[in-house]
Amino acid sequence: MKIPSLICIILLSVFSPNFAQKDISSQISVIAEKEYPRLDELYKYLHANPELSNMEKNTSARVAKELREAGFEVTENVGGYGVVGVLKNGEGKTILVRADMDGLPIKEETGLPYASKITTKDDKGTDQPAMHACGHDIHISVLIGTARAMSQLKNQWKGTIVFIGQPAEEKVQGAYAMLKDGLYTRFPRPDYILGLHASASLPAGKVGYCPEYALANVNSVNITVYGEGGHGAYPHTTKDPIVLSAYLITQIQTIVSRQTSPLEPCVVTVGSIHGGSKHNIIPNEVKLQLTLRSYSEKVRQNTIESIKQICKGLAIAAGLPESKFPKVEIENETGFALYNNPELTEKVVKSLKSAIGENNVEKVPPVMAAEDFGELGKVEPPIPVCLYWLGTVAQEKYNESQATGLQLPPLHSSLYAPLPEPSIKTGVKTMTKAVIDLLADGSKKK
Ligand SMILES: [Zn+2]
Ligand SMILES: [Zn+2]
């Protein structure tokens, strides 16, 4: 081959879009590797020091410090302990990336050297064990890694990035609280919103995506069943709220099986029941806590109405006066299903594939878990959002579970132990690539 034609080929390949893509992806990979020791230290600190919803004081201070060190302009205490970091880099689109920060009231049983041994106060002042059992410590580490990568790659993009640490996700309150506190009026309003969530069923090194509906509506329901208490040996002189609660629990199973279309997802779970103090006393009341999940608003409303109706019907059948009909309280009316904007998801999936290879990106089905991430896009006019799943399971544990059929510890389990290094590196590589591509996409249209 003659020298001039060789030069031609080299020049052509250097200036082809494919080369540029590979070049950015490999630069991001180099940064993810280089930054990992720092992110590992951050992750293990967060994992060992979880804070509960609305109590994320030290976590948010650390997030603020890390974002400042990455060159962001940072505001703290937005909607509680929310943190907002802004990095402006010329004209272009605005992208918001969100990580949630709260842990859960669970006693960790992973046996990891950096396991949480923390007992702390919840927002009602009660002592609770605490654990990052939902991987929010992974989310923060990826957010900071991505922030540092974006800062180092400033010559590769134009626009504005807004990186937020969100409090109180586990209570489905933090996103709404940050919006109410001026997330889009005090700070640049985003064109797109991105997030990721740790997956306890995908191996580390892989990511999953789910276009359109991905996570469900959620409502927490508190029911107080009243009765007329008395001696356990004279039940005929009482109205027993324990028997009434037993009827109630079995009756509400028919909401899903008999009142909801089999083609519509719906879950009614009684997660807690408390009543009575002794063998031979019929109590005055029993308290129940339920979680409801659905996708359509119609199913959500129908489930709530049916619970109220069944409560009323059972109280009438028991001969209770109206003043003693069960009290039904609905919490968190804002827990809407997460809808991943299909066009945005398509763009993000392209970036994910170019960052870590086509074989490491899987389409996954929707689940009935819930997240308040979707709330961030439910404004007027709406903002497209996309949240993808980040694999966190050690490959050998994943293989073993596939071979034996044994269930892996799910999210919210005291045994959930994500593998930090490949998970966080994959998170940083994919999220940085997605943000850079979206900003480039925006500047092309200008
Ligand atoms: Zn969770
Ligand atoms: Zn979570």
Question: If you measure from the C-alpha of residue 88 to the centroid of ligand 2, how many angstroms do you get, rounded to a whole number?
Answer: 29
- How confident is residue 333, by pLDDT bands cut at 50, 70 and 90? low
The model's pLDDT over 81-92, given as tens digits with 9 standing for 90+, comes to 999 999 999 999
Q: Has residue 334 got a pLDDT over 90?
A: no
Tell me how far the alpha carbon of residue 201 lies from the centroid of ligand 1, in angstroms. 14
For ligand 1, a single-atom ion, the residues with CB < 5 A are: 134
Average per-residue pLDDT in the chain? 94
- The mean pLDDT value for 169-196 works out to 96
Same domain for 357 and 420: yes
Residue 3 falls inside a structural domain: no
pLDDT at 19: 52
Is residue 317 domain-shared with residue 200, that is, in the same domain? no
Minimal CA–CA distance to 303: which of 185, 358, 380, 221?
A: 221
The residue written with tokens 């004081």 in the block is 57
Among 330, 356, 381, give the residue marking a domain's end.
330
Domain extent at residue 239:
217-330
Tally of CB atoms within 10 A around 9? 10
- Say yes or no: 282 and 410 in one domain: no
* Residue at 246 is within a domain: yes
Distance 215 CA to ligand 1 centre (A): 12
Q: Are residues 143 and 244 in the same domain?
A: no
**What CATH number does the domain containing 264 carry?**
3.30.70.360
| pLDDT, tens digit (0-9, with 9 covering 90-100), for 62-86 | 999 999 999 999 999 999 999 999 9
169 is an annotated ligand-binding site residue: no
Scanning 210-341, the segments in alpha helix (DSSP H) are 241-259, 297-317
CATH of the domain at 162: 3.40.630.10
Per-residue pLDDT band for 374 (boundaries 50, 70, 90) equals very high
User: Tokens 């998170």 label which residue?
Assistant: 427
Tokens read off for 441:
């996409």
Assess if residue 21 is contained within a domain: no
Please tell me the distance between residue 264's alpha carbon and the centre of ligand 1 in angstroms: 23
Query: Residue 283 C-alpha to ligand 2 middle, in angstroms?
Result: 37
Question: What is the average pLDDT across 120-130?
Answer: 94
The pLDDT value recorded for residue 13 is 47
Residue 384 lies in a domain: yes
Interval between CA 131 and ligand 1 midpoint (Å)? 11
What percentage of the chain reaches a pLDDT higher than 90?
91
In DSSP terms, 287 is beta-bridged to: 224, 274
Phi, psi angles (nearest 5°) of residue 190: -75, 155
Instruction: Report the candidate in 333, 337, 98, 133 with the shortest Cα–Cα distance to residue 216.
Output: 337
- Domain end point (choices 296, 330, 364): 330
Q: Which amino acid is at 337?
A: A
Tokens of 360: 């490491």
Domain assignment present for residue 76? The answer is yes
Q: Any idea which ligand is nearest the CA of 175?
A: 2
- Is 4 within the bounds of a domain? no
Residue 335: its pLDDT value, please? 72
Statement: residue 1 has pLDDT above 50: no
Are 82 and 189 found together in one domain? yes
CA of 136 to the centre of ligand 1 (A): 8
Q: Is the pLDDT of residue 353 over 50?
A: yes
Cα 217 to ligand 2 centroid, rounded to whole Å: 14
User: Final residue of a domain: which of 307, 330, 353?
Assistant: 330
136 is in an annotated binding site: yes
What's the total number of domains in the chain? 2
Give the CA-trace dihedral at 97, 103, 104, 109, to 10 degrees.
120
Instruction: Please check the confidence at residue 157 and state whether its pLDDT lies above 50.
Output: yes
Is 148 in the same domain as 186? yes
Position 217 scores a pLDDT of: 92
pLDDT at 446: 44
The Cα–Cα gap between 120 and 105 comes to: 9
Alpha carbon distance 31, 45 (integer Å): 21
Do residues 94 and 225 both lie within one domain?
Answer: no
At residue 298, the 3 state secondary structure works out as helix
Q: Do 173 and 56 meet the contact criterion of CB atoms below 8 Å apart?
A: no
| The pair of three-digit structure tokens given for residue 141, joined into one six-digit string | 């580490």
Residues 73 and 195 in one domain: yes
412 known member of a binding site? yes
Same domain, 74 and 195: yes
- 291 shares its domain with 163: no
Average pLDDT over residues 237-254: 98
Q: Is residue 370 part of a domain?
A: yes
Per-residue pLDDT, averaged over 167-188, amounts to: 96
Any binding-site annotation on 132?
no
Residue 230 CA to ligand 1 centre (angstroms): 41
354 and 304 both lie in a single domain = no
Residue 369 Cα to ligand 1 midpoint, Å, equals 8
Is there a contact between 272 and 288 (Cβ–Cβ < 8 Å)? yes
- The answer to whether the annotation marks 231 as part of a ligand binding site is no
Mean pLDDT within 259-285 = 97
How far apart are the CA of 73 and the centre of ligand 1, in A? 29
The pLDDT score that the predictor gives to residue 5 is 55
8 Cβ contact partners less than 8 Å away, ≥ 6 residues apart: none
Ligand 1 centroid to residue 246 C-alpha, Å: 29
Whether residue 136 is predicted with pLDDT greater than 60 in this model: the reply is yes
Q: What are phi and psi of 218, to 5 degrees?
A: -135, 140
Q: 221 and 208 in one domain? A: no
Distance (Å, whole) CA 153 – CA 29: 12
Distance, in Å, from the CA atom of 315 to the CA atom of 361, rounded to the nearest integer, reads 52
Q: What percent of the chain has pLDDT over 70?
A: 93
- The sign one gets for the Cα dihedral 338, 342, 348, 349 is positive
Residues with CB under 5 A from ligand 2 (ion): 134
Nearest ligand, CA 166: 2
Q: Which of 11-15, 184-188, 309-313, 424-428 has the lowest mean pLDDT?
A: 11-15
Ligand nearest to the CA of 389: 2
In a domain, 66, yes or no: yes
To which H or E segment does residue 257 belong? helix 241-259
Cα dihedral sign for 355, 361, 365, 371? negative
In total, the chain counts a number of residues equal to 446
